[in-house]
Amino acid sequence: MKMSTKKLQWLMFGWFFVFPFLPVPGYWITIGNYIGLYSIVALGLVLLTGIGGLTSFGQAAFVGLGAYTTAYLSTTLGWSPWVGLGAGLVVSGLAAALIGSVTVRLSGHFLPLATIAWGLSLYYLFGTIEFLGKYDGLSGIPALSVFGIDLSSPRVMYGVIWFCLGGCLMLVLNLLNSRPGRAIRALAKGKTMPEAMGIHTAQYKILIFVLAALMASLSGWLYAHLQRSVSATPFGLHMGIEYLFMAVVGGVGHVWGAILGAVVMTGLKSQLQDWLPLLLGSNGNFEIVVFGVMIVLLLLWSRDGLWPWVAGVWAKFHPPEPEVVAPAIAPEGYSDLPRRTRPQAGALILEVNEARKQFGGLVAVKDMAFEIRAGEVVGLIGPNGAGKSTMFNLVTGVLPATSGEIRFCGERIDQLDSRRIVRMGIGRSFQHVHLIPHLSVLENVAMGAHLRGRSSPLAAALRLDRHEEARLLFLAAEQIRRVGLEEHMHTPAGSLALGQQRILEIARALCTDPTLLLLDEPAAGLRLKEKEALADLIRQLKGEGMSVLLVEHDMDFVMGLTDRLVVMEFGSKIAEGLPAEIQNNEAVLAAYLGGVE
Amino acid sequence: MDFGIFAVLAQDGVTNGAVYALLAMALVLVFSVTRIIFLPQGEFIGFGALTVAALQSSQFPKLIWLLIGIGVLTFLVELGSALRQRRYKPLPRRLLMWSVIENLIYPQFIWLLAHSLDWQGMPMAVQILFTLAITVPLGIMIYRVAFQPMAEASVLVLLIVSVGVHFAMLGMGLFIFGPEGSTTRAFTEWSTSLGEMPVSGQSVVVMAVAGSLIGLLYLFFDRTLYGKALRATAVNRKGAQLVGIGTSQAGRMAFGLAAGLGTLAGTLIAPLNTVGYDTGFVVALKGFVAAIVGGLASYPLAAAGALLVGLLESYSSYWASAYKEVIVFTLIIPVLAWRSLTSGHGDEE
Amino acid sequence: MSADNNSKPVLETRNLSVRYGKVEALRGTSISLRAGEIVTVIGPNGAGKSSLLNAIMGALPSEGQAQGEVLYQGQDVSHHAIELRLGKGLALVPEKRELFTTMTVEDNLVLGAYRRRKAGWSYRDGLEGIYAVFPRLKERRHQLAGTMSGGERQMVAIGRALMSDPKVLMLDEPSLGLAPRVMAEVFQVISHLRDTGVATLLIEQNSRAALKVSDYGYVLEVGDVTLEGKASELAQNPRVIEAYLGAKH
């Protein structure tokens, strides 16, 4: 459940700004500095791991790239630290883009493994390269200064670090609350759903990988000029693992969890490093035992980390309000949103011609042929295992056809991927609903409006996208009203009943402005009332001129609803016609009730 | 480079590659059976080597303390889960009795054995067997305590748990063994030469042991019911459950095997290298690079990857010794790029 | 079989419910099965048929929660692990078969007897029994299970379940994706099993064929039993036809 805890958040953040002005010992300021530095890295990990679903143990290496770049430029070449900042960001960004493009297409666990190897190899590299001072590192790094004002005192650096952290937080929060942000949130749900909304998942994965690396690099730059020297050790794999632990402890799915995790881990570490050697009677990094055990226990107890717990306690006293709200009246420019021209009623829109799909020796779809005309509701039915789902996947581009052709409004689509197909005007729902459960209905539906906007992640982070954002949210809210879910606009999607979730998916598909709507077993698992509501919605959409292809198993459901039925068995069409004809068709009877004599 | 050097480097590479192959196979086994990426493998390398070293210098193998401690913890975890289910069914007395024997009595027995016998004078093979008698149950207990309660979690959660266990074991290794490394006795002083190439007995022993272990593993998986059960779990978890191969039982077997293979790998490298409490991690990661070459799924490909890693390491230590580790770990990038290009569709979830 | 009709049920569910998070797949279902009987549960997709079998076997996915009683020979086994239920005499052939595709047919069968360790019994005897029922599997015993045709895979799956010597065999959509001729073969095997005293709980969408071999039947719709009765009567019941073909006007 998503809670608005704005006050708590800024209270927490504000405290860190008041903190250095209090008469606290210098040691506390040092700890505060490290918390800020670590939080910046952990924030990147929250974006990458908690929200985007990609895990990295190699963030310390990116911190190292940022630190070493500025260290080298400002000592050996004597350039300004500000050049070092830019150069560090470029180096880390390029490295991340390279690694990202190599690994994001592979399944989830290859990326973290690659980051382990990558983290180690960069660590050895830092320790080996002559001009980086080998394992001694580089020292004599100049302090930061702006317009001749020296920023070297720890208390002043504290301000700089927390200013940077505040900036990163703002940019990340802005980004997440936008069109590209919703695309990033959709990534955690696998590939099929976001791609069906027109989201280029590989690009967005590389984007968040680069963003996390940039934040790490910024932290490294600050570190180098705070510490005034760099060596390889703080950029090793163990630090990379600790960064991830911070994010997990704080709550890897929550932006503010990054700071909470950094506070907890840094505080704990400094205490343990004081106490454990006394307790055990020898020196060493024994705190890693505590960290390791703590992380295992935490994951056993609650996989969401500490933040949801803190926020939950807070929410008891300060009831949450919805964070994302659609404008009440159509915002300026709403009517200018591009809309597809509707084909004339009765015009041929989908033609399936001898489509075939083979998996090895198995022919799942055998030379299927049928068509859909504008304004028609067509049912594709058949017993389990008849090949309906495969046929559905061929039309939606999840699978390419082995042979034959499928045309939509005259253009061939049988080899296109789902991202291109949704662009042409085919919207779809899923048999097993694909929603982001903790986001509101509005935010989930707005994912469907991805292709209706064009604002870039940068524009979103800088809030230059607000006009477009208002239009997209209004569009989403319109679709929610269209399907009759307006009461639940701000309810988390996960708490709706299954029938409502199916309807939510239809609203999301409507946001893509489809001319043809494909529904995959929309009635499966629904109760009678829910089925009736769904049937009413489909009739209403038909009345508005929508064409619908329903893939269904439930004959009862499609009977009164469709204009025409296509019946499949063993991958082939066995009958086609009006529902009443199909009901009395011998072949269909045999297929459904069994023809074994 | 003349042929002599080339051949010596090849011999080194294959020797190390054989050790990496053992590790890679254990990693593939654990991953395919449990979906756990077994990072603590490295600790077993260090623990194994240091325990044999302790036995040879007639010190008490302090790893037994850890076995006793984790044994108590495991027993408590099992008792706790039995008590929690008391509402539904009577306490599983037989199971708890086994748990007492395995987790409380067995470690004490090992402690007694360690104290009562003169281990220094024993043949090395016996010392290694005794070390396995400590590490294999340790691996099984770690599975029970840390992984079994969340066996259904996603690969990524399991990976983070794995890292947590690695951290905890590494810190305990430092506490138990201290920061200093050790070496063990050589297996053999014998050496010969093949034409121009000197052949060290050590290499021959390592290759022979690794080779025969791989052979034994093959027989285990191909011929025995337990081996088939492990394979079956890796192929189809639900199917395995339906014939009564519990996920947790398979997980314990896999962890026991992996801990044993890690320990053996440690004892194989210990005569030639100084092994410290933290040496194993980097060695195990080289096994990982090899396993990733095999996509964490194929044993022959993982073994081939291990030889590749061994040879690459050996030749790069000749050409650019400072960059040896960098080169080995960077190998993973082109390998993944190649897999990414050939896999076509990205697999999800 | 009629001789057994008065005996106690070998398997019974009482008020069995299954939830997946917020979704209720099965609502308080009660069915029973006597030794040597074939009972069919029919009903549309999503009615909770597979959930019923998985709950009886204890093989629900981790997000699934079962409530209610599962009585095997009068004893509540609803909190037993799969291994225990398997040892008592329950076996499930799942809808997706779940074969060990990269292993040989014989290895698949042998693993079916993984829990069956008794003095004086060797899996060789078990294999001979299976090969007697499915001669084709004997011919192909060294072939990998993944290379078999759909019908043969179903035979391997049934054979693997039989290797555990079940008293109650549960089959989830055994005819799924099979050509009519192969389907007929599978049903023939099912009706032969009755003669060995095994009770069979069958889930089918191919209701006509299933009811033909069954003694008793239940109609499950959206998590509830809406109709039950002798299989021969059920096959004639207009509501059964209606449930599938939506014949109401």
The residue type at A258: A
Distance in angstroms between the alpha carbons of the first and the last residue of chain A? 55
Task: Give the model's confidence band at B248: pLDDT under 50 very low, under 70 low, under 90 confident, else very high.
Answer: confident
* Cross-chain Cβ contact A555/C244 below 8 Å: yes
* Residue labelled with tokens 């009739």: A539
* Cross-chain Cβ contact C179/A570 below 8 Å: yes
Cα(B287)–Cα(B93) distance, integer angstroms: 41
- Smallest CA–CA distance, residue A385 to chain C, in Å, is 5
Q: What is the pLDDT of residue C1?
A: 41
- With beta carbons under 8 A apart, name residues in chain C contacting B244: 82-83, 86-87, 114-115, 164
- With beta carbons under 8 A apart, name residues in chain A contacting C183: 594, 596
pLDDT, tens only, B310-345: 999 999 988 888 888 888 888 888 888 787 777 654
Calculate mean pLDDT across residues A426-453.
92
Calculate mean pLDDT across residues C135-154.
88
CB-based contact, A363 to chain C, within 8 Å: no
CA-nearest residue of chain A to C173?
A: A384
Task: Map residue C78 onto helix, strand or coil.
Answer: coil
- The mean pLDDT value of chain A amounts to 88
Q: In this model, does residue B139 exceed pLDDT 90?
A: yes
Task: Give the model's confidence band at C244: pLDDT under 50 very low, under 70 low, under 90 confident, else very high.
Answer: low
Q: What is the dihedral of CA B320, B322, B325, B330, to 10 degrees?
A: -60
- With beta carbons under 8 A apart, name residues in chain B contacting A113: 37, 288, 292, 332
Task: Give the model's confidence band at B292: pLDDT under 50 very low, under 70 low, under 90 confident, else very high.
Answer: confident
Q: What is the pLDDT of residue B2?
A: 76
- Smallest CA–CA distance, residue A195 to chain B, in Å, is 12
At residue C129's C-alpha, the angle toward residues C123 and C133, to 5°, is: 140
- The mean pLDDT value of chain C amounts to 85
- With beta carbons under 8 A apart, name residues in chain C contacting B229: 111, 114
Cα separations in angstroms, A6 against A1, A169, B1? 15, 13, 67
Q: In this structure, which topology does domain C1-89+166-249 adopt according to CATH?
A: Rossmann fold (3.40.50)
Percent of chain C with pLDDT over 90: 40
Of residues B93 and C167, more confidence is placed in C167
- Smallest CA–CA distance, residue C148 to chain A, in Å, is 11
Domain co-membership, A369 together with A490: no
- With beta carbons under 8 A apart, name residues in chain A contacting C180: 595-596
Cα(A195)–Cα(A188) distance, integer angstroms: 12
Of residues A293 and B187, more confidence is placed in A293
* Cross-chain Cβ contact C100/B88 below 8 Å: no
Asked if B49 and B270 count as a contact pair (C-beta separation under 8 A), the reply is yes
Two structure tokens written together for B82: 């039995």
Q: Which among C237, C159, C224, C212 has a CA at the least distance from the CA of C16?
A: C224
Taking CB atoms and an 8 Å cut-off, how many pairs form between chains A and C?
80
Of A525, A583, A589, the CB nearest to C46: A525
Cα(B197)–Cα(C29) distance, integer angstroms: 77
Using CB atoms within 10 A of its CB, is residue A528 exposed (0-12), middle (13-18) or buried (19+)? Answer: exposed
Q: In this model, does residue B291 exceed pLDDT 70?
A: yes
* Cross-chain Cβ contact C81/B89 below 8 Å: no
* Cross-chain Cβ contact A299/B160 below 8 Å: yes
CATH number for the domain spanning A387: value is 3.40.50.300
CB-based contact, C81 to chain B, within 8 Å: yes
A208: enclosing H helix or E strand: helix A201-227
- With beta carbons under 8 A apart, name residues in chain B contacting C102: 231, 235
Q: What is the pLDDT of residue A145?
A: 85
Cα(C130)–Cα(C232) distance, integer angstroms: 30
Within 146-175 of B, beta carbons closer than 8 Å to A belong to 146, 149-150, 153-157, 159-161, 163-172, 174-175
Q: Show the domain range for A539.
A: 345-425+514-597
Cα(A321)–Cα(B344) distance, integer angstroms: 44
* Cross-chain Cβ contact A553/C44 below 8 Å: yes
Domain co-membership, A137 together with A60: yes
- The mean pLDDT value of chain B amounts to 88
* Cross-chain Cβ contact A192/B323 below 8 Å: no
Within 78-97 of C, beta carbons closer than 8 Å to A belong to none
Q: In this model, does residue A289 exceed pLDDT 80?
A: yes
Of residues A596 and B317, more confidence is placed in B317
Task: Give the model's confidence band at B143: pLDDT under 50 very low, under 70 low, under 90 confident, else very high.
Answer: very high
CB-based contact, B242 to chain A, within 8 Å: no
Asked if A260 and A310 count as a contact pair (C-beta separation under 8 A), the reply is yes
Q: What is the pLDDT of residue C242?
A: 66
A534: enclosing H helix or E strand: helix A528-543
pLDDT, tens only, A4-23: 567 777 777 777 777 877 88
Task: Give the model's confidence band at C249: pLDDT under 50 very low, under 70 low, under 90 confident, else very high.
Answer: very low
Task: Give the model's confidence band at A596: pLDDT under 50 very low, under 70 low, under 90 confident, else very high.
Answer: very low
Q: What is the pLDDT of residue A167?
A: 93
Q: What is the pLDDT of residue A275?
A: 86
At residue A243's C-alpha, the angle toward residues A241 and A245, to 5°, is: 70
Percent of chain A with pLDDT over 70: 97
- With beta carbons under 8 A apart, name residues in chain C contacting B152: 62
Cα separations in angstroms, A583 against A426, A590, A593, C182? 29, 11, 12, 26
Q: Which of A280, A300, A317 is the last residue of a domain?
A: A317
* Cross-chain Cβ contact A107/B339 below 8 Å: no
Within 14-43 of C, beta carbons closer than 8 Å to B belong to none
Residue A179, domain member (yes or no):
yes
Task: Give the model's confidence band at B349: pLDDT under 50 very low, under 70 low, under 90 confident, else very high.
Answer: very low
Q: Given a contact as 3+ CB pairs under 8 Å, which chains touch C?
A: A, B
Q: What is the pLDDT of residue A382?
A: 82
Q: Which among A530, A93, A40 has a CA at the least distance from the CA of A259?
A: A40
Q: In this model, does residue C206 exceed pLDDT 80?
A: no
CB-based contact, B343 to chain A, within 8 Å: yes
Calculate mean pLDDT across residues A559-583.
89
CATH number for the domain spanning A179: value is 1.10.3470
Taking CB atoms and an 8 Å cut-off, how many pairs form between chains B and C?
71
Task: Give the model's confidence band at C39: pLDDT under 50 very low, under 70 low, under 90 confident, else very high.
Answer: very high
- With beta carbons under 8 A apart, name residues in chain C contacting B225: 110-111, 114
Residue A327, domain member (yes or no):
no
CA-nearest residue of chain A to C48?
A: A525
* Cross-chain Cβ contact B153/A113 below 8 Å: no
Domain co-membership, A509 together with A528: no
Q: In this model, does residue A346 exceed pLDDT 90?
A: no
Q: Given a contact as 3+ CB pairs under 8 Å, which chains touch A?
A: B, C
Q: Which DSSP letter does residue C196 get?
A: G
Q: What is the pLDDT of residue A104?
A: 75
The contacts of residue A546 (CB under 8 Å, 6+ apart) are A375, A514, A515, A516, A517
Q: Which DSSP letter does residue A324 get?
A: -
Cα(A217)–Cα(A208) distance, integer angstroms: 14
- With beta carbons under 8 A apart, name residues in chain B contacting C91: 242
Of C57, C83, C111, the CB nearest to B232: C111
Asked if A383 and A411 count as a contact pair (C-beta separation under 8 A), the reply is no
Cα(A52)–Cα(C246) distance, integer angstroms: 44
Q: In this model, does residue A123 exceed pLDDT 70?
A: yes
Asked if A215 and A166 count as a contact pair (C-beta separation under 8 A), the reply is no
Calculate mean pLDDT across residues A248-258.
89
- With beta carbons under 8 A apart, name residues in chain A contacting C179: 570
Q: In this model, does residue A298 exceed pLDDT 70?
A: yes
Residue A200, domain member (yes or no):
yes
* Residue labelled with tokens 């039947």: C217
CA-nearest residue of chain A to B164?
A: A292
Domain co-membership, A78 together with A157: yes
Q: Given a contact as 3+ CB pairs under 8 Å, which chains touch B?
A: A, C
- Beta strands C199-204 and C23-33, pairing class: unpaired
* Cross-chain Cβ contact C83/B246 below 8 Å: yes
Of B88, B228, B241, the CB nearest to C82: B241
Task: Give the model's confidence band at B150: pLDDT under 50 very low, under 70 low, under 90 confident, else very high.
Answer: confident
Domain co-membership, A208 together with A73: yes
Q: What is the pLDDT of residue A5?
A: 65
DSSP notation for A346-377: T-EEEEEEEEEEEETTEEEEEEEEEEEETT-E
Q: In this model, does residue B163 exceed pLDDT 60?
A: yes
Optimal mutation site among C69, C77, C82, C110, interface B, most CBs of chain B within 10 A: C82
Calculate mean pLDDT across residues A36-48.
95
- Beta strands A426-428 and A411-412, pairing class: unpaired
Percent of chain B with pLDDT over 70: 97
Q: What is the pLDDT of residue B133?
A: 96
Calculate mean pLDDT across residues C72-87.
89
pLDDT, tens only, A535-562: 999 999 999 889 999 998 777 788 889 9
Cα(A523)–Cα(A257) distance, integer angstroms: 39
Q: In this model, does residue C13 exceed pLDDT 70?
A: yes
DSSP notation for C142-165: TSBGGGS-HHHHHHHHHHHHHTT-
Q: In this model, does residue C123 exceed pLDDT 90?
A: no
Pure H helices in chain B: 3-34, 41-56, 63-84, 93-100, 106-116, 124-142, 155-177, 201-223, 225-235, 237-242, 247-269, 279-293, 299-319, 324-330, 332-343
- Smallest CA–CA distance, residue C116 to chain B, in Å, is 9
* Cross-chain Cβ contact A596/C183 below 8 Å: yes
Q: What is the pLDDT of residue C215?
A: 93
Q: What is the pLDDT of residue A429?
A: 92
Domain boundaries, chain B: 19-180+198-280
Q: What is the pLDDT of residue A154?
A: 86
Optimal mutation site among B332, B335, B340, B345, interface A, most CBs of chain A within 10 A: B332
Percent of chain B with pLDDT over 90: 53
Within 178-197 of B, beta carbons closer than 8 Å to A belong to 178-179
Percent of chain A with pLDDT over 90: 49
Domain boundaries, chain C: 1-89+166-249, 99-165
Of C23, C44, C177, the CB nearest to A554: C44
CB-based contact, B323 to chain A, within 8 Å: yes
Calculate mean pLDDT across residues A335-347.
85
CA B105 to chain centre: 25
Distance in angstroms between the alpha carbons of the first and the last residue of chain C? 39
Task: Give the model's confidence band at C3: pLDDT under 50 very low, under 70 low, under 90 confident, else very high.
Answer: very low
Q: In this model, does residue A68 exceed pLDDT 70?
A: yes
* Cross-chain Cβ contact C206/A385 below 8 Å: no
Cα(B137)–Cα(B260) distance, integer angstroms: 9
Q: What is the pLDDT of residue B15?
A: 92
Cα separations in angstroms, A407 against A198, A342, A345, C99, C244? 19, 17, 18, 38, 32
Among the residue ranges A43-57, A316-330, A509-523, the one predicted with the least confidence is: A316-330
- Smallest CA–CA distance, residue C164 to chain B, in Å, is 8
Q: In this model, does residue B77 exceed pLDDT 80?
A: yes
Task: Give the model's confidence band at A594: pLDDT under 50 very low, under 70 low, under 90 confident, else very high.
Answer: low
Calculate mean pLDDT across residues A127-141.
87
Q: In this model, does residue C209 exceed pLDDT 60?
A: yes
Optimal mutation site among C60, C79, C111, C142, interface B, most CBs of chain B within 10 A: C111
Task: Give the model's confidence band at B195: pLDDT under 50 very low, under 70 low, under 90 confident, else very high.
Answer: confident
Global ipTM: 0.89
